[in-house]
Amino acid sequence: PLEYRAERGLLDLHEEMGIMIQEVVGRRVGRYFLPAFAGVAFGTNDYRWSPRIRREDGLLRIVPGLGTRAVDRLSDDYPILIAPGQPELRVNATPDEMVRYAPRKIDVINLETGEFETVELAGLLREAGSDYPRIRDIVSRFEGGHLSRPLGIGLDFGAGDWVVTFDGIVRNTDFVARMRELLGVLQESMQHPVDVEFASDGTDLYLLQCRAQSYASDEEPAAIPRHLDPARVLFTANRHVPNGRVRNVTHVVYVEPSAYHEISDLQRLREVGRVVGRLNRLLPKRQFILVGPGRWGSRGDIRLGVPVTYSDISNTALLVEVARASGSYVPDLSFGTHFFQDLVESGIRYLPLYPDEEGNVFRDSFLAGGRNLLPDLLPEFAHLADVVRVLDVPERRQGEVLEIRLNADLDRGVAFFTARTEGGTAVAAPVRPPGARDVTRGLESERSEDHVRWRMFMAERIALDLDPEAFGVEAMYVIGSTKNGTAGPGSDIDLLVHVSAGATPDQRARARFWFEGWSRCLAEINYLRTGYRTDGLLDVHYLTDEDLARKTSFAVKIGAVTDPARPLTLGTGSDGSGGTSGA
């Protein structure tokens, strides 16, 4: 708490806290009291597991029983994740995955002892499954490699494998639709996306808490450079990638996965967490990243995740959780836990890595090699040097630093070595054939305004290169995101082309062919700059005199009072550069 207050400049401010006591939602199930299910919901979703899921589709994080298991980070259990806007697109698509990553434990209140407990769900169902509200909508039966909804009058929870899927809740009730509507109403009222906590006793749905959803300071998708020299790449990611960019990383703290898993002494495992906490105070703030196995900061078996609290990692720039194919750990989507919200509010990025999946890069040789600074920084923990490695990036890379770019739209991330930047950005030069011209020179910056500026420059260049007489063109205009200053790395350049009344079919065909050449060329340049692959970058709309007279379709933009099309200066065609010069 003191570090939290210090970070936010609150140490010298007097604060008072109110305490609100809420009645626990739920019913009696055997000797326990619990809700049928509970969880958290978010208006926007920054960790999308399918390209079909949009950011505004939101996220539900649901568990059976008390909602503590939805907001706490757990080392040995999973919640069910649902996108309210796309409820059929689950994180786990196959029955085997749904079984493996289903909730197996449940938080309850023991009415006999009056204490909070965590119990095995299978045991609770065997003991009092018939008392559990809406149990048929919460669990499915796994048999013969298939999941099926419960059938029959009585359910025998002593036989078979019962798995929490919430399939009946999603398919047979209006719960998901109600949650989406609730998030929309609250967002409209608060003028900001919200996160809420909820619980259901099986009959009624209770809203327990609502607040504005936290965001990282930089939500822009970072451009992913193409054709990086492989020797410059430290790691790549292609699953559950958020947006963001981390620059000027000078140190890497690497907890070696195999060495960590070989530790059998719990005291030594806790020492690893203490080492990370000490390094957090010694290393330059936001200029180091943490890389290691397991669910960091989780509740449960510390052998499955480095035992740290938020204050132990509060100064890092990025937390990278590594899942090797040989290990039992798979990073879960921690989006929505209190631990994750602490990271978001502090601007700390989180990234799960799957190094052994095809197509990914993970340079163990760099992380496991070179001088380890741990014995010099913390001599009293030198005996852990085989587990915790502290790497000086500029020392290893002749002055270079590490940069990480993350793009949720592409679901791709990359960490690469590059020159240090002072108040700006540096982009590692792509590998080009010998003698090839650098078509992206001067276009290295990836800020939003530069995407706009480059597109406007190219629109003006196209207009100047065009031969109006050769192509039968009266005028050209730019509209849309390029004109309005909102273009991103994947945006089209929207052009309006006024074709003269006397243009021949041959002239029109040549014009279309010419614009198509520009479109494909610009798409390739944009791909080299940002990693966004498109068939073409120009969206050209051809208008006739009749269109302008009738103000049809896009013609209404020309001379409009609001959001008018911006005219472009056409070339004269007299110098021979227009018409046939192409892109």
pLDDT band for 332, please (50, 70, 90 cuts). low
* CA distance linking residue 135 with residue 157, whole number of Å: 11
> What per-residue confidence (pLDDT) applies to 8?
64
* CA distance linking residue 95 with residue 409, whole number of Å: 27
Portion of the chain with pLDDT greater than 90, in percent: 52
Whole-model pTM? 0.60
Higher pLDDT residue, 372 or 349?
372
Give the residue among 485, 405, 481, 418 at the shortest CA–CA distance from 446.
405
pLDDT at 443 over 70: no
> What per-residue confidence (pLDDT) applies to 204?
96
pLDDT tens-place string over residues 189-206: 998 999 999 999 999 999
Helices (H) and strands (E) in the chain, counts: 19, 25
pLDDT band for 428, please (50, 70, 90 cuts). very low
Higher pLDDT residue, 221 or 373?
373
> What per-residue confidence (pLDDT) applies to 531?
75
Is 407:221 a contact under the CB 8 Å cutoff? yes
Is 85:57 a contact under the CB 8 Å cutoff? yes
* CA distance linking residue 104 with residue 87, whole number of Å: 22
| Of 163-172, 318-327, 446-455, highest mean pLDDT | 163-172
* CA distance linking residue 348 with residue 318, whole number of Å: 6
* CA distance linking residue 293 with residue 255, whole number of Å: 7
Is 450:488 a contact under the CB 8 Å cutoff? no
* CA distance linking residue 102 with residue 104, whole number of Å: 6
CA 276 → CA 118, 313, 368, 516, distances in Å? 29, 7, 17, 55
Given the candidates 3.30.930.10, 3.30.470.20, 3.40.50.720, 3.90.330.10, the CATH classification of the domain at 22-212 is: 3.30.470.20
Portion of the chain with pLDDT greater than 70, in percent: 86
Q: What interhelical angle do 448-465 and 505-530 show, nearest 10?
A: 150
Name the least confident of 35-49, 324-338, 531-545.
324-338
Q: Mean pLDDT across the stretch 235-251?
A: 91
* CA distance linking residue 38 with residue 407, whole number of Å: 31
Q: Mean pLDDT across the stretch 370-375?
A: 95
Quick one: tokens of 253?
């703290």
φ/ψ of 473, rounded to 5, equals -110, 130
CATH of domain 448-568: 3.30.460
pLDDT at 173 over 70: yes
> What per-residue confidence (pLDDT) applies to 168?
94
pLDDT at 344 over 50: yes
pLDDT tens-place string over residues 35-89: 999 999 999 887 777 778 888 899 999 999 999 988 876 656 888 989 999 998 8
pLDDT band for 404, please (50, 70, 90 cuts). very high
Contacts of 198 (CB under 8 A, 6+ apart): 38, 39, 40, 41, 67, 179, 205, 206, 207, 208
pLDDT tens-place string over residues 90-132: 887 788 888 888 999 999 999 999 999 999 999 999 999 999 9
Identify residue 102 by its one-letter amino acid code: A
Half-sphere exposure of 210 (CA within 13 A, CB side): 15
| Of 7-16, 237-246, 505-514, highest mean pLDDT | 505-514
pLDDT band for 144, please (50, 70, 90 cuts). confident
What end-to-end distance do the CA atoms of the chain give, in Å?
Answer: 59
pLDDT tens-place string over residues 373-400: 999 999 999 999 999 999 999 999 999 9
Give the residue among 195, 224, 221 at the shortest CA–CA distance from 60.
195
**Bridge partners of 146?**
143
* CA distance linking residue 412 with residue 403, whole number of Å: 14
